Structure 1
Amino acid sequence: MTTSGSSTTAYAASQGLSAAVEEYSDGSVSIDARPSNGTDANVARLDREESDIAYIQNWTAERLRQGEAPFDDLGYDPVQVFHLYNLPWIFATANADWTSVTDIESDSRVVPTPRGSGTAPALEHGLSFAVDGYERVSVGYGELGGAFSEGRIDSAAITILNGDIEPGWVQEMKGSVDLRLLGWPDDAVESMREDPGLLIQDVDMTSFEGYDYTPDTIPSITFAYNFISRHDLDYDAVYALLETLYENRENLSEYNALLGYHEEPEYWVSDMYEGIPFHPAAADFYQEIGVWKDEFERYEE
């Protein structure tokens, strides 16, 4: 199983999944959680059969569905297995008079996540619906607070996992600068919602404290992270994996707090990708537990 880098929330969650399967499996399935360079790398690792199951996000999924390079010559068909989490991204600033992304101007220094991250292209694309231009700079997540304090950047993207959990680096940043969250103009939001490569979800900010300014609700460019596999991954292995985790879902949060969301049956199939079918074992399993939806597609040879 591959997700992302060894210091990420996703990798920690995969380690939790691995530990849970080791604890509860009858020996028919196991998970070896390994770090990865991200979603594009995961698609390639599946192709080289260096991974059996890996997570991607909806921006990558749309490129897969369209057969865009570098995904235009894969030796397998990607199929969906289960949902991990959503990461909605919101643009923030320490500039005292800013309230909207439209305050970004051509000389504004903006960090739509560090350069090279899997989320950056979609965030840059989303900004193009509301902003004519800006100076694109790259700063690591843990260094954003200092960059704001020193006046080296004007805006940066932050995330709130599943719209509920602020990462530690966001909490630390709130403690070091007067952080303001930026809204979007209605016409840009409408256009982004129509874009097949973007998932736009509203984040309710009314329960969060410590921001100098935030709208009550912020439309966010959201990444839905789902596990996929090769179409030919063993049926019994996939079924055993899902059955083991699902039957012990009330205990998963003991292995990683993020996995507590999986206690709800419907969460396993949240925000699945249109145009990418389910592994046959996953399709059968979800039909049996009553969460299969009419719009889902089962993979057929």
Structure 2
Amino acid sequence: MHPLARNLALASLPFALLGSSIALANDVNLPRTMAWTAYGTNSSGYAQAVAIGNMLQSNYGTSVRVLPGDNDVSRMTPLKQGRVDLCACGIASYYGVEGVMMFAHPDWGPQPIRLITTSTASFGLSLAVAGDLEVETPADLRGKRIAYIRGDDALNKGTEAYLAFGGLTWDDVERIDYPGYGRSFDGIIAGNVDASFTTTVTPPAQQLASSPRGISWPVLDPNDEEAWERMRAVAPYFHPHEITSGAGGISADNPVNSASYPYPIVVGNADLDDDIAYGLIRALQDNYDDYKDSAPGAVGYALEYQDLQWVIPFHDAVVDYYKEIGVWTDEMQAHQDALVERQQVLLEAWNAFADDAPSDEDAFREAWMDARSEALTNAGFDPVFE
């Protein structure tokens, strides 16, 4: 069963049961002030953080200061240093847990991050393909010109995952390098490249849809288990998602079977105060109607959109909340325990590796990835990133 559908079924427990469970919970005990980092001020993630902050101020007297960050480093560094309570991050939070990509660096390594909540809205994350190519599925991308964004691991990993769904790799397409995300869409419109990874609602996708080439989105069969296994082997954070908003006429009346992962991903450190973690998740669920329409995508915090068996371990106090409302299962606990164990393996491997690591950054990264893979494999885990 799809994770969201499974959790929807759990969320459909009788309201009387949920209400009585919540009533037994401790009172919300949030601090007077909190600090978050988020994406830039023009992003939906920032707007959602502000909307949540307004709800917390109105209902609990908690003032939230949202610090915008233009890139993953500026969003994650204050969390690492303990200068903020939470980060409304993107998928880089998962890379941080795993200690890969930008985190395979002497200044970083695996981060002891815990999940508070996520938002999964109506849009998808997909390859925007020029509409004049008649690409219907990822397999049709063979031989096409695909954008590779220098310095943006998350976007390139998304592209690689879509290719894997179609049984393809970078060797099966023509890779066209671009210095930035926006430039790749200029390249599609100009006829110099055929596809680039994005969200379905982003302005560049809208611009492509309005161009002479038009836009199309590859369809991912939600029942093709082998294809999903290939995709998740590359990027395990993707899940099937019916997109109901996006460029090119996507709507509730004209949906597309595709993929998505949450954005934003609200995380804190493992040592985040229990009162903050518990208070926030309870406040978000108890007062959902107060903020769900206050920012684009805020509807995605509803209980039925929470994947309780995702790729980042939950904060212990969040697990306590889900137990109280009766939706936490033994299967979820086993998954949580495995994620925590995986993170402990990574942290121990990092501590052992860093004591005698190469000083050259490239050599450091290569040696760490080898050490990381060995430690995870020996502990019975899939390294995922090689």
The answer to which of 75-84 and 37-46 deviates more is 37-46
What is the CA distance between 1:34 and its match in structure 2?
1.5
- CA contact under 8 A between 1:110 and 1:156: conserved in structure 2? yes
Aligned equivalent of 2:291: 252
1:279 to 2:318 alignment = no
What is the CA distance between 1:11 and its match in structure 2?
1.6
Q: Which has the higher helix share?
A: 2
For structure 2, the 5+ residue unaligned runs are: 1-35, 345-386
With the length of structure 1 as denominator, give the TM-score of the two structures: 0.75
Alignment of structure 1 residues 126-275 onto 2, 5 Å: 126=161, 127=163, 129-131=167-169, 132-138=172-178, 146-160=186-200, 166-177=201-212, 178-183=214-219, 189-195=227-233, 197-204=235-242, 210=248, 217-220=256-259, 222-225=260-263, 226-262=265-301, 264-267=302-305, 269-270=306-307, 272-274=309-311
- CA contact under 8 A between 2:239 and 2:261: conserved in structure 1? no
What is the CA distance between 1:204 and its match in structure 2?
3.6
- CA contact under 8 A between 2:49 and 2:88: conserved in structure 1? no
Aligned equivalent of 2:368: none
Aligned equivalent of 2:77: 44
Q: Please list every run of at least 4 consecutive aligned residues from structure 1 whose deviation after the TM superposition is greater than 6 angstroms.
A: 184-188, 206-209, 298-301
Q: Which amino acid in structure 2 is aligned with residue 17 of structure 1?
A: I
Rounded to whole Å, the distance in 2 between the matches of 1:168 and 1:234 is 38
Aligned equivalent of 2:27: none
What is the CA distance between 1:81 and its match in structure 2?
0.9
- CA contact under 8 A between 2:242 and 2:258: conserved in structure 1? no
Residues 155-186 of structure 1 deviation map (CA, whole Å, 9 limit, x = unaligned): 122323xxxxx344433432223222234696
Identity of aligned residues (%): 20
What is the CA distance between 1:271 and its match in structure 2?
5.5
1:30 to 2:63 alignment = yes
Residues 28-78 of structure 1 deviation map (CA, whole Å, 9 limit, x = unaligned): x43211112444654433221132111445575266246772499669622
> CA 1:55–1:272 in 2, change beyond 3 Å: closer, same or farther?
farther
> CA 1:293–1:56 in 2, change beyond 3 Å: closer, same or farther?
farther
| Secondary structure, aligned partner of 2:67 | coil
The answer to which of 194-203 and 174-183 deviates more is 194-203
With the length of structure 2 as denominator, give the TM-score of the two structures: 0.60
The answer to which of 172-181 and 36-45 deviates more is 36-45
Rounded to whole Å, the distance in 1 between the matches of 2:59 and 2:286 is 9
> CA 1:90–1:74 in 2, change beyond 3 Å: closer, same or farther?
closer
Residues 115-155 of structure 1 deviation map (CA, whole Å, 9 limit, x = unaligned): 43352231243236514242333376666665333223221
For structure 1, the 5+ residue unaligned runs are: 161-165
Rounded to whole Å, the distance in 2 between the matches of 1:187 and 1:238 is 35
1:119 to 2:154 alignment = yes
Rounded to whole Å, the distance in 2 between the matches of 1:289 and 1:101 is 40
What is the CA distance between 1:205 and its match in structure 2?
5.8
> CA 1:72–1:288 in 2, change beyond 3 Å: closer, same or farther?
farther
Rounded to whole Å, the distance in 1 between the matches of 2:268 and 2:323 is 19
| Secondary structure, aligned partner of 1:137 | strand
Rounded to whole Å, the distance in 1 between the matches of 2:177 and 2:110 is 36
Rounded to whole Å, the distance in 2 between the matches of 1:85 and 1:31 is 22
Q: Which of structures 1 and 2 has the bigger CA Rg?
A: 2
Aligned equivalent of 1:11: 46
> CA 1:196–1:146 in 2, change beyond 3 Å: closer, same or farther?
closer
- CA contact under 8 A between 1:45 and 1:51: conserved in structure 2? yes
- CA contact under 8 A between 1:192 and 1:198: conserved in structure 2? no
Rounded to whole Å, the distance in 2 between the matches of 1:47 and 1:287 is 29
